[in-house]
Amino acid sequence: MIAIIDYEMGNLGSVAKALTYLGQRAEVTSDPDVIFRADRVILPGVGAMSYALEQLEKKGLDEAIRQYLLTGRPFLGICLGMQLMFESSEEGDARGLGILPGTVRRFQPQPGLKIPHMGWNQLEDSRLSILPSGTHFYFVHSYYCDPADPAMVAARCTHGVPFAAAVQKDNILLTQFHPEKSGDSGLKLLAGWVFGGDED
Positions annotated as catalytic residues are: 79, 178, 180
Q: How far apart are CA 137 and CA 100, in angstroms?
A: 24
Nearest-angstrom CA–CA distance, 174 and 83:
9
Name residue 146's amino acid: D
Question: CB of 139 within 8 A of CB of 176?
Answer: yes
Strand blocks (E) in 17-171: 26-29, 40-43, 75-78, 88-89, 94-95, 102-106, 117-122, 136-141, 143-147, 153-159, 161-169
For residue 78, list its beta bridge partners. 175
